[in-house]
Chain A
Amino acid sequence: MTTILAPPGRRVRDNRPDTPRRRRSPLITGAGTLLVILFALLGPLVAPYSPTAQLAAPFQQPDGQFLLGTDVLGRDVASRVLGGGRTIVLTALAGTAAAGAVGMAAGVLAALASRRSGDLLLRCVDALAVLPGLLVVLVLAAGFPGSHAALVAAVALATAPFSTRVLRAAADTVLRSGYVEAALARGDGRWAVLRHDVLPNIAGPALMDTALRLVASLHLSATAGFLGLGPGGAAPDWGRMVSENVPGAALAVTPFLAPALLLVLLSVAVGLLAGRLADRAGRGAA
């Protein structure tokens, strides 16, 4: 007697949803990201007016003269939008580079050191990670008011602990692999092994980690601008433009909506790129 199995109805997928079915190339997101970053970096060069000059009455509606209207102090919104992305992007890039360097050094050191001291180093790093990133930024901004270097250092400090953890794990796996053992056994020096065997093999995780850190850094540096931390004054900054112009939301929408939408574009582009890189590396976007 044959039993006919009912076709399975709705059932849980066997393969884990972590693995995307269609592997979309990170090229498109990468190009989009590059475009937004270039806009932020080169924008100041094509601004029609000085971003700090008071040209007209506050909160004028967009017209032929002022493409996006004027802001709370009567400055040209278009010029400020073009000029306001540079600080955010540069701060985030500098913070990411610093965090990457610190995380790479600490992570590889922790992996190379004995298990005991490596764990101790990681404990210290974890202790630092307890402080919320924004709290680090606020405390350092209170200690070093108006300092741009302090802002970069704060962004780096806030994001470095995670890099250390990721890179230590990556370096640990490589160090325990057969070819490193073979290299060490045939008498290669520690530095040679580090340069030729370990570093090339953790470059992939390091790149992915850097992309994730860039997302966090952009988030922090935009927020720092919004809270008025770092070098203040009249210089344009997308974050600060939002905080300056939201109180006048009922009078004019463009002065805060334009920088807000650009920040959405920037963070989403970088965020999606980081997600794609993480997917390609076979890991969920953590």
Chain B
Amino acid sequence: MNLAAFVGRRLAAATVLLVLLSAVIFAATAVLPGDAVSAVAGVDASAARRAEVRAELGLDRPAAERYADWVAGAVQGDLGRGFVGDRPVTEVLATRLPNSLLLAGLTLAITAPLATLLGLWTGLRGGGADRFVSTAAQTLAAVPEFVIAALLVAVLAVWLEILPRVSVIPLGGTPLDVPHALILPVLTLSAVGLAVATRLLRVSVTDVAASPYCEAARLNGVRGVRLAVRHILPNAAGPAVQALTLTTGALVGSAVVVENVFDYPGIGRELQLAVAARDIPMVQGIATALAGVMLAVLLAGDICARLLGAREGHRR
């Protein structure tokens, strides 16, 4: 199967999956439409007023019909309007998603090289340092992100007073206007990401290091940095990239939490606000968009792993 056919098949599968997931998200949020009515009309609204709001929001129609309408709109790039503030969902996505992606990109830029170094080092050396790093990573990965964030706030913002506690971004500006507001969120996300990525890379590296191919290279006198960079890394990268993409889900969750801790104006903060306000269209739109981002990352991971895998076959 050539690459184009492979990508096409995966793309089709991802699209089907996205439609399925959007249906699941819609069903999970649309089963209790009464609550959305009280959120908009107020808890103590009269029955007549409630019926009025219900008709206004289109909630008196059957759920399947509403879902069909929603999908028809979504295909044309219209995800409806939020109950609160009457903002178009797509507009919120367009302004907030780039901020979150910036956070993710910066985290990746810090995590990837560090995790590669630590993974190679611990996977090849073994011994005490390996045990220490592995246990530390395992411990760090178990602690909820907001706790790590709170501890960083306690040390860096309160005790040492070198960083702001919240990420206040001026109205209409981007996070890049106030770079120091990005430090704490990126630091928290990097700590979590590093813990996960190091463990995965280490497993991949030890697998390759135990392979006959590597043994042969070692017997030929290749060792040290040369062994790691020329022989182990190219072979360990494929499985590691694929394993890493599988943890994107966890990192999306981490980003939602971290944005909330630091009031960072990203899509996760918006999602939490929408959940708190029972803003159903906003929740549906954002959750579906995040599922789409997840699927895109998984797809990219599959393609990367395939490209790296082809190279691996050639090298062996």
Question: Does A90 lie at the interface of the complex (its beta carbon under 8 Å from any beta carbon of B)?
Answer: no
Contact status of A132 and B294, CB under 8 A, knowing A12-B124, A142-B29, A223-B144: yes
- Closest chain-A Cβ to B149's Cβ sits at a distance in Å of 8
Residue of B nearest to A130 (CB): B294
| A132 / chain B contacts, CB cutoff of 8 Å | 248-250, 252-253, 290, 294
* B21 & A127 in contact (Cβ 8 Å cutoff): yes
B interface with A by C-beta (< 8 Å): 17, 20-21, 24-25, 28-32, 35, 122-127, 130-131, 134-135, 138-139, 141-147, 150-151, 153-154, 157-158, 165, 199, 202-203, 206, 209-210, 214, 218, 223-224, 227, 248-250, 252-253, 256-257, 260-261, 271-272, 274-276, 278, 280, 283, 287, 290-291, 294-295, 298
A84→B292 CA distance, assembly (Å): 36
**Which range holds the interface residue count of chain A?**
35 or more
| A270 / chain B contacts, CB cutoff of 8 Å | 142
**CB within 8 A of A219: which of B134, B139, B144, B298?**
B144
| B158 / chain A contacts, CB cutoff of 8 Å | 249-250, 253
* B291 & A264 in contact (Cβ 8 Å cutoff): no
| B151 / chain A contacts, CB cutoff of 8 Å | 257, 260, 264
Contact status of A134 and B150, CB under 8 A, knowing A219-B144, A228-B276, A275-B138: no
A-B interface contact total, Cβ < 8 Å: 181
Residues of A120-147 whose CB lies within 8 A of B: 127-135, 138-145
Residue among B138, B203, B295 facing the most chain A CB atoms (10 A cut-off)? B138
Contact status of A142 and B274, CB under 8 A, knowing A17-B123, A246-B261, A264-B147: yes
A interface with B by C-beta (< 8 Å): 10-13, 15-18, 20, 127-135, 138-145, 215, 219, 222-223, 226-229, 239, 242-243, 246-247, 249-250, 253, 256-257, 260, 263-264, 267-268, 270-272, 275, 284-285
* B147 & A242 in contact (Cβ 8 Å cutoff): yes
